[in-house]
Structure 1
Amino acid sequence: MEEFTVKALFASIHKAEIEESCLESYQPTPLQLVRLDENGHLQLCPEGRDMLKQISGRVAVIGIYGPQRTGKSSLLNLLISDSGNGFDLSHNPSSRTEGIWIWGQPIRTKENYIIFLDCEGTKSLSQTSSSDAKIFGLMTLLTSVLIYNSKGVIDEDSINQLVLATLFAEVIDFTIGYADSKVEIDERISAEAPKFIWVLRDFHLSITDDNGKPLSAKEYMENILTLPTYMGKNAEKNTKIRESILQIFKERDCYTLPVPLDRIKELENLENYELQDMRTKFQTSFDKFKVSLLEGCPNKKFNGSEVSGNQLAIFIQEIISVLNEAERPNLYQVWEHAIRVQYEELLNKAKDKYMENKNIDPAFMPFEDKEILEKLQAAKDLGLEIVTSVPHKDLDLELEMCENFQEFFNEDIKMTLKNNFAASEAYNLSLIESVYRPIIEKVDEGYYNGDFENMETDWIKALRQYEKEAKGPGRFAAISEFSRIHQHDAYAKFFQDILDKFKNELDILRIKDKECQERLRLQKENEARQKIINDYIEDLQENVGVNDDQLEGLLKKIEEEISRKLKERKDGSKQKVNKKGCQCVVS
C-alpha cells in the first residue's frame, strides 16, 4: 500500500492543482519649527513638524516678527496665556530666537485651530543674510495674520525693517504661466499675503491729525504709509517699501499698547508678571487687541484652499527642500506637490490602518473564506476612511489613491486567501492522518479478516469525524486527494487479502483431492489383487486337491501370475489410451 503521510499527501495535492490614530497630545511649550543649520540650509524640526501633523483640521496662523528686543515673545506669551511665560525672552543683545518657533498647544475653536509662530528678531538690514531673508519670507508666507511689533512711533527705521515682510514676494515664485502679466502676479501675491497688523509698543502719544482731530491707530498708520512723499536720508527706498506694503498687504490694521509696567527693572522681568498685574491702561488696550485678533483671524489658505496643520507641515518641508537647492520655489507647484505628498502619506496610513485591523493572525489559520473576506472588507473600509478624510479634497488625487489602495487590497486578499488555503490543507492533512491512521493500520494488519461491513463502518465514522473537525477551504481538496489515493488502496488491500485467502484455501483443497485420488487408486489395486487371489484359491480347491505345502508353492506361483496379469492389465490400459490417441491423430 502507498505510503500514508502528511508530507506525501500534501505533495500529491499540489501536484494535482501596516490610520494611525492621532492623539492630540499637545505640549504647552515652545517648539522649534524651522532652523538654520551650519551650512545655512533651512531645516524643518521634528518636534514642530510632529505637532503640526497632529492637526487634521483647519488652522489659522498668527505670526510675529520685528526688531530685536521689542517684546515680540512677551506679546505672544500674553496672547497665549495672559502671562509672560511661554516663548523664551532674550535680554542679551548678542542672543536671539533663531529660526521660527511654534507654540506647542494651539487654541481650539469651533471653526479651527489657532497656532502661534515666533520669529527671530530682525537685525540691522545691513546684516541681513540671504538665509535670514528666506526665514522672514517663509514666516510671512506661512501666516494668515502677520503681526509687526515695534516700539514707539512709526518712523523711518521701523518702516525700513518692514522690507523683510515683503521678502516672500522675492523668495517665492507666484507665476502660473509664461505669459503672466505683472498685474496678474501682483494680484496673486496680495491674495496669498496674510493680514498685516502693526503693533506699536510702549506708545504714549495722543494721535491727532494736522487739525488736532483724534485719529485711530489704523488711520495713523495709513496716513504714514500713503504719504505722497517722505523726507529723510533714505526717502526713495522708504517710499518703495511703503508702496510694497500697500500693494502686498491689502488687509491692514494697527494697534497701540502703552508701557505695561511702571519700572524699567520690572520690564526686564516681564515673564514674572501676569496680565492682571500690569497697568490697567495696558490691560484695556491689550484686551481690545486680543479679542479683535482672535475673532478676526482668518484660516490659512494656499491658492484659495484652506490648510490643515498636517498639510502645512508637508508644505513647509516641500518648500524648504526647494529653497535649500538655491532655487525660487513656485508656490502653486509646491502646494500641488504637497497635496500629493499628503495623499501619499494618507495612503500609507490607510495601508497601516488596514493591516492593524485585519485581525487575521496567521498563527490561528485556517479560517473560513467568508470570515476572512468579512474581516478584510471591514479593515478596508477603515483604511478608505483615512484616504477620503481630507477636508478640502483633490478629487483626482483621491481617486488615484483609492485605486492604489484597491490594488494593495486585492494583492493582500489574494495572498491572505492563498496562505489560508495552504494552512487549511496542512491542518486538514494532519487531521486526516490522525483520523484514518488507525483504520489504515488495521487494514495492513488484516484486522478485519474479510469483514467488509465492519471496515466500512469504521471508515464512515472516520469520515464523519473529519467533516466535523475539518477547517477552511482546503478541507475538500485534502479529503478528495486522500480518497483518490488511500481509500482506493485500503479497499484494494482489503479485497486482495480476501482473494489471497481464497487462493490459499483452494490450493489446500486441490492437494487434499490429489491425496484422496491416490488413496482410491491404491485401494482399487488392492481390491483387484485380492479378488484374483481369491479366484485362484477357489479354483484350486474345487478342481485340484492340494495340501498346505503345495498350496504355499501354488500361492507363490499365483502371486507371480497376479503380478503378471496386473501388469498385462496395466499395459493393456496404456495400449487402449495410445490406440485412442492414434485414432484421434488419424481422424
Structure 2
Amino acid sequence: MKVLQPPYRNRISGVTLDASFLPVLALQLHLLQASTMQMAAPVCLIENGRSGLHIRPEALQLLSKIRKPVVVVSIVGLYRTGKSYLMNKLAGKNSGFSLGSTVQANTKGIWMWCVPYPERPHQTLVLLDTEGLGDVQKGNSQNDSWIFALAVLLSSTLVYNSLGTIDQTAMDKLHFVTELSEHIKTKTSSIHGDTEDTSEFVGFFPTFVWAVRDFTLQLERNGQPITEDDYLEQALELKKGNSQEEQMFNLPRKCIRLFFPTRKCFIFDRPTSRKNLPHLEKMQESQLDTDFVEQAKQFCRYIYWTSQEKTLPGGHVVTGNLLAELVKTYMDAICSGKVPCLENAVLALAEIENTAAVREAGAHYMQLMEQKLELPTETLQDLLDIHKICEKEALQMFMARAFRDDTRQFQGELVKTLDSKKEEYCRRNELKSSEVCLAVLRSLSEGLEQKIKNGAYSRPGGHQEFVNDLKEVEERYHGTPKKGIMAENTLKEFLQSKESISKTILQSDTTLTEKEKEMADAMVKTKAAELEQEVQKQQIAMLEQKLEDQRQSYDMNLQELKEKMDNERRNLLEEQEKMISSKLREQEAFLKEGFQKEASQLSGEIQELKKKKEEVQKPSWFTSAFEILGDVVSVALPGLVGKAVGAVTRWLKRL
C-alpha cells in the first residue's frame, strides 16, 4: 500500500493523503457499499492522463451494477468557476466533488457520483462533474472538446457554468458547442460525409441550463424587469450582417438555439467574500450570502423536478448498466480516432441488451415453471396451461427490456428458446409419468408375478385364472389416480410383456379345446390392437394440442409486439412532434429577428420531419414488423409455416 504523505488532505475524513491515492480511496470506499449502491464519495469515471482519456474500469463496474433507470446531470464550464459546489448541493452534501482553492483546475477528466434520486425511489441520480475547460496548463486541449461532447451525449440535463455575465466573451469561451458537429454524429452515413445530421441533434440532446455565477447586473431591459430566462434568450439573439465578425458572433448562439430546444437560466450572487471562498465547503449555509443560498435551492429544485430519465431515440429508458455500455462505446470510438456515433451506440447497446433480455426471460420462464409445475401432470393440457402463463410473463419481461429488434431476431430466439424448454418439460413429464406408472404396475402385479414364478398357472384352468388376475391388475391400475399422460402407453407395454407368458399358459391348459385356445388368443390380439389404437389416438391429440399451443404462442407474440410497437410509435411521434415544435419556434423567432435564410433552412428540416412522422403513422409501419416476425417464427417453429402466414393476415385485417 502507498505511504500517505502530506500536504494533501481528504475533505471527508481529514486524513492526510497522497494526491494520487485519492481516486483509489474513493473507489474502495464505494466498493464497500456496492451492494446497496450508496456511493460514499465520487469516483473518477473517465481519467484525463498524459496518454489521453481513458475509462477507469472500477468506476465502470460500479455503474454497471445499477439496474434502475438513471437521470444523468452533467456540469461543464471553465475551470475555477465553482462547478463542483453545485454538484455537491445536488448530491445533498457540502463536500464530495473536490472544489479546490487555487487557480489550478482541480477536477481531471469526468468524475461520477451516483446517489438516490430525491422522492424518486425507482430512479438513480448520476452526477457527472467534468474537468474545467480552458486550463492553460493542460497537456492536450483537444480533450476539452471530447469531454464536452461526452457530457452532452451522456446527459439528461447539461449545466453550463460560467462567471460574470452572458456576453461575447462568455460566448467565445463556449466555442465547444460549435464543434459538436465534428465530435458527434447521429447516423453512420454522416460519418463518411454523406449527410449532415446536426438537424437531428435536437432529438436527443439534453436540457440546457446556463448557471451564471457571481452575477452583479440588474435584470432589466429598456428599464423593465426581465426574468433570468429572458436574459438568456436576449443574449442568444443574432446580429444582422454577413461579415466574418458577425458570423462568428452568431455561430455559438445559433448552435445553442438549434441544438438545445429546452433552455433555462439561473443567476447566482457571490456566495461569500473572496477570502472565504477557499473554505466554502466547510461553511454552513448560515455563513453564506442569503440570496446565494436561496438561488442554489431554486437551482436544485428545478433540476430535481424537471430532469428526466436518460433515454435513447425511440424512448428506451437507460439504466445504469446501459449507461456504462454507452460510456464504453463512446470511449472506444474516441480512443480509436473515430467520431462517436449515436446510431452505432444504440445498435451496440441493442445487441447487448437484447441478448441479455432473451437470457433473462428464459431463466425467468424456467424459474416460474419450477415453482408452478408439479410432475407428472394428469394431462398434457395441464402442463400447456401452466406453460402459457409462464411464457406470457417471460415474453413481457423480454419486451420490457428489448429494443431496436428490427429484424425480430431476438424475439424469434426467445420463441425458439421457450418452445425448446417447453418440450424439455414435456419430456420430463413423460419420464416422470412413466416412472410413476411402472411403480404402480410393479406394486399391483406382485401377486401375479409371484404366481408366474411359482408356476401356479401351469395347470388345467390356469389360463382363465391368469386372465382374471391380469384383468384385476388392469382395473386397479385404472383406478389409481395421478399417473400422468403415459398411463395408457405404459399399460400397453406392460400387457405386451405378458403376451408370450399368456400364450405359454394358454397352450399348456388341457381343459381348453383348440377352438377355445384360438378364440382366447384372438381376444388378446383384439384387446392389444384396441389399446394400441387408443395410444395412437392420444398421441395424435397431444400433437394437435402442441400445435395449437404454438399457434396461441404466436398470437401472443403478435399481440405483445403490437403493444410494444404502439408504445414505440407513440414515443417516436412525441419525439418528432417535439422536434417539429422546437424548429417551428426557432423559425418563428428567426423570422421575427429578420433572418430569412436561417428560417428557410429550418423550413426544409420541418418538412422532412413531417414526412417521417407521416410514415410512422401509416399501417405499413406495423405490417413489415408482423411479416418479419412471421418469417422468423416459421423458421424457429417449422410446424407453423402456414399458420403463421394466416395469423399475420388476420392481424393486418384488424389494423
8 Å CA contact retained: 1:48, 1:104: no
Q: 2:133 aligns with which of 104, 117, 122?
A: 122
Question: Bigger radius of gyration, 1 or 2?
Answer: 1
Select 2:388's aligned residue among 363, 377, 396: 377
Q: Does 1:79 align with 2:90?
A: yes
Name the counterpart of 1:62.
73
- Does structure 2 retain, via aligned residues, the 8 Å contact 1:226–1:242? yes
C-alpha deviation, 1:488, in angstroms? 2.1
Q: Which runs of 5+ in 2 are unaligned?
A: 1-34, 514-655
The 1-side partners of 2:450 and 2:122 are apart by: 77
| Counterpart residue type for residue 78 of structure 2 | P
Task: Quote the offset at 1:483 in angstroms.
Answer: 0.9
After superposition, the Cα gap between the structure-2 partners of 1:37 and 1:457, relative to the gap in structure 1 and judged at 3 Å, is: farther
The aligned counterpart of 2:63 is 48
Q: Is the 8 A contact 2:191 2:339 kept in 1?
A: no
**AA in 1 matched with 2:431:** A
1:343 corresponds to: 354
**3-state SS in 2 of match to 1:348:** helix
Alpha carbons of 1:375 and 1:124: their partners in 2 closer, same or farther (altered >3 Å)?
Answer: same
Equivalent residue number for residue 432 of structure 1: 441
CA contact (8 A) 2:44 2:112 kept: yes
The worse-fitting range, judged by mean Cα deviation, of 326-335 and 126-135 is: 126-135
Aligned to 1:200: 212
- Identify the match of residue 281 of structure 1 among 273, 291, 294: 291
Secondary structure in structure 2 of the residue aligned to 1:203: coil
Please tell me whether the aligned partners of residues 107 and 115 of structure 1 are also in contact (alpha carbons under 8 angstroms): no
Aligned CA distance change for structure 1 residues 66 and 329 (closer, same or farther; 3 Å): closer
- 1:457-479 CA distance string (max 9 Å, x none): 44334334433167232232222
**Deviation of residue 178 (structure 1)?**
6.7
Distance 2:294 2:501 in 1: 101
Shift of 1:67: 2.6
Is 1:135–2:147 an aligned residue pair?
yes
Distance in 1 between the 2:172 and 2:512 partners?
118
CA distance in 2, matches of 1:237, 1:104: 40
Choose the corresponding residue for 2:366, options 355, 366, 372: 355
CA contact (8 A) 1:28 1:105 kept: no
- Alpha-carbon distance in structure 1 between the residues aligned to 2:44 and 2:399: 28
- Residue 416 of structure 2 corresponds to residue 407 of structure 1: yes
2:496 match: 484
Give the drift of 1:480. 1.0
Per-residue displacement from partner, 1:227-273 (whole Å, max 9, x unpaired)?
Answer: 759xxxx99978755554455445444322123245734x4343345
TM-score by length of 2: 0.59
CA distance change for structure 1 residues 493 and 271 in 2, over 3 Å: closer, same or farther? farther
- Residues 1:325 and 2:339 aligned together: no
In the alignment, the residues of structure 1 paired with residue 284 and residue 107 of structure 2 have an alpha-carbon distance, to the nearest angstrom, of: 23
Cα pair distance change 1:386/1:320, threshold 3 Å: farther
Distance change in 2, residues 1:460/1:198 (3 Å): same
SS at match of 2:418: helix
Distance 1:455 1:299, change over 3 A: closer
Q: Judge conservation of contact 1:256–1:285 (CA < 8 Å) in 2.
A: yes
TM-score (norm 1): 0.65
Distance 2:64 2:122 in 1: 22
Larger RCO (CA under 8 A, 6+ residues apart)? 1
* Matched-pair contact (CA < 8 Å) for 1:358–1:376: yes
1:188 aligns with 2:203: no
Give the corresponding residue for 1:163: 175
Alpha-carbon contact 1:64-1:117 (below 8 Å) kept: yes
SS at match of 2:210: strand
Secondary structure of 2:266's match?
strand
Query: What residue identity is the alignment partner of 1:202?
Result: D
Aligned residue pairs: how many?
Answer: 465
Q: In 2 relative to 1, CA 383–302 (structure 1 residues): closer, same or farther, beyond 3 Å?
A: closer
How far off is 1:147 after superposition? 0.9
1:403–1:441: structure 2 CA closer, same or farther, 3 Å change rule?
same
Matching residue within 433, 447, 461 for 2:456: 447
The Cα shift of 1:148 comes to: 1.2
Aligned pair 1:309/2:319, yes or no?
yes
Q: Which residue of 425, 428, 431 corresponds with 1:416? A: 425
The Cα of 1:171 is off from its aligned counterpart by 1.4
CA 235–493 in structure 1, closer or farther in 2 if over 3 Å, else same: same
Letter of the aligned partner of 2:438 in structure 1? L
1:258 alignment partner, SS class: coil
Does the CA contact (< 8 Å) of 2:164 and 2:212 recur in 1?
yes
Amino acid aligned to 1:46: Q
What does residue 557 of structure 1 align with?
Answer: none
Amino acid at match of 2:79: Q
Aligned-pair CA distance for 1:124? 1.9
CA shift for structure 1 position 352: 1.7
CA drift at 1:188:
1.9
Matches of 2:342 and 2:283, distance apart in 1: 42
From 125, 145, 148, the equivalent of 2:160 is 148
